[in-house]
Every structure is written in structure tokens, then in C-alpha cells.
Amino acid sequence: MKLITIVGARPQFIKAAPFSDVFRRRHVEIMIHTGQHYDQNMSDIFFRELSIPKPDYCLGVGSGSHGAQTGRMLEKIEQVLLNEKPDGVLVYGDTNSTLAGALAAGKLHIPIFHVEAGLRSYNKRMPEEQNRILTDHLSDLLFCPTKTAVENLKKEGITEGVLLTGDIMVDAVNRFSSISNRFYSNGVWLDVLKAENPSIPSLKEKEYYLATVHRAENTDDLKKLETIFAAFEKLDKPVLVPLHPRTKKSVDKLDISFKNTIVIKPVGYLLMLYLTKNAHMVVTDSGGLQKEAFLLQTPCTTLRDQTEWVETLENGWNCLCPIHIQAIIETTSRKLDCLNCPRPQVFGDGNAAHRICEAIIKNSS
């Protein structure tokens, strides 16, 4: 079988690693990298660290408005599909790369396989929500990470081709967390950070917050962004922030003096796993990081009014938080009863890649 996989952003590189490893043992996979994430620390490092095969096509689309970026991707992906004539197209998640790949394949009547189908935040102002809804309605096979995702699709009348596979991120975390620990334990993680910036203080495990901010709803609103970083300055522990390139452009417009906030460049997946596992708490607006924190048993505060990963809210492992200084302070300083509660096993057993691979092959036979 000949399959084209489309990736373009950090979370997709991570999900692609376990699937590609399984699928390529018996079949042909051609990988298209749209270039949605093109910064070296947001792209190249993931392919090296996770031993993901080098992309066969690098489209180099880069940044831009949603319409322009998606349009350029659609045009370039379509040409690759016409040249390669694959048996199917696999897309991950909810990015512009996801939607462009699904649209290109759909117009050419090529079967579409969507990994991480059925997620809903029910906030259509989010570009990601629009992308995932449209992709789901175009797809032939919909691989759902949770029972909630299956039910979300059922509410929209989508029942054909829906499979509960578990979450492929569990595969990735199980596969790479021990490697991460081997690389970065015994203070190596701090040595790596200090090599980049010697002025970074001597942080200790479980005595820092790990924070990321990249959603357009937070970064495009400078007042919200200023509020978030003002709150970080008032937290009771240092806040380590690997700063997304798009967020940095917005932060640079603000007159912020960082004292409690430690800004670093984006880091690779293995180091990010270690930082997540050993943080006191994760503070983020990222869907993927919410889930990784949950899987690594690190409490999380989500800087949004809703989450597509509702399962993480059980027992207080994750808490939603409005963008107000006092709300952020109170939510992050909450009593962490979750650490004494059982963590529900809602994301599967770590064999999602095998289930997805088998379903795709069966569909194409």
C-alpha cells in the first residue's frame, strides 16, 4: 500500500513517529512536510530526536494569514497527490496542514484517514475547531482517541468509519519518556538550559511552573497576553516559558520586564517531556501539552474557557482558567488533591498506532 502522510506542526511530528515506525515495516509511506512550523527548534529537531524518516516533500509554506497559508498548502499538496497517486492520505489533528491535506485529497477522491478525530471544544472562533470539524466531515476513516470523541461525532451524524483506537500520543509518551529521563536526569536538563542562557537561575525539579502560550485567542490580543505574563510575574515559583516564535513577535511589542518569568527558545520533544514531567505544574493554552501533562501525572492549568480534552478535568488534574491575573494566581496555587487521586485511564493502552495501521490496510484491501 502507498500512503501519503501530511505533517506540518510540532504535535504532528510527535504523533507521526509511532505510526510511521509500524506502517513502514510492510508498506510505503510518503511524508509531506508543509512547513507550517519551519523554525529549526519547532521542526528539524523533532525529526532527528524521534528518528522520524526525512520528509519526501518539504513544501516550505511558512507563516501567513490562515487563508493564504491554507491556500498555498492546498495548491502544493494537490500537485504532490496528482504526481504520486496514493491509495490514501493520513492527516493528524487540527492544524491548517490537516485541513489543506483533507481538502486536497477529498477533491481528488482519495480516501482520507484522520488521526485524532472527534475532538470538540465547541468554540468555532478557534481556527483549530473549524479545521477539525471540516476534516472529520471529509474523512473516510476517523480514528478517535476517546469515547467522548466517538460520541461527539455521533451527535453530528458521523457513524460510518469511526473507530475508537486510543490516543497515539500515549504511544509516543510511553516510547520516549524513558529515553528523555535517561538523557536529561541528574541535572543535565538544567545544564542544557544554562548552555543556551547562563543567566538562567538554578531551578530545581518540582519547583517551577512550565508554561506555553501560542493560541491565537491569547497571542493576538495584546491585552490578554500582557495579563498572562503579568500573572506569571506574581506566581510563587519561577515560570519557565519556551516561547513560540509567533508568541515572541507579540511579546516583543509589550513593555514587560521579566523577573519571575524565564523565557527560553522552544526545545525538542525529549527535553520538553522531561520539563513537563518534573514541573510543579503546567500552565498552557496548548491542547497537546494538557494531555501530555495528564499522561505524565503533572497538574495543569489551561488558559482557556474550554478544552477539547475534557477527560483531563477529572479529579482536578487540569483546571480551566479565564485570563485574569487573580484567576491565574488562584488556579495555579490551588490545592493539588489530584496527586492523591487515581488518574483515569481514558486515553488507551499505547497501541493506537497498530490499530490505526491495521484499519487503514483493511480499508484498502
Active site residues: 214
| Residue 336 per-residue DSSP state | -
Separation between Cα atoms, residue 298 and residue 316, nearest integer Å: 11
255: left (phi over 0), alpha (psi -120 to 50) or beta: beta
Instruction: Look at the block and give the residue holding cell 490551588.
Output: 334
239: enclosing H helix or E strand: strand 239-242
Residue pair 179/270 in contact by the 8 Å Cβ criterion? yes
3-state helix, strand, coil in the chain (%, to 5): 45, 15, 40
Question: C-alpha distances in angstroms, 284 versus 75, 229, 239, 241, 360?
Answer: 33, 12, 11, 10, 34
Closest CA to 211 of 87, 300, 339, 128: 300
DSSP 8-state symbol, 344: P
The 8-class DSSP code of residue 111 comes to -
| CA-based nearest residue to 285, from 311, 256, 307 | 307
Residue 53 grid cell: 524518516
> Cell digits for 172?
509516543
Q: What is the DSSP letter of 342?
A: P
Q: Are 235 and 259 in contact (CB under 8 A)?
A: no
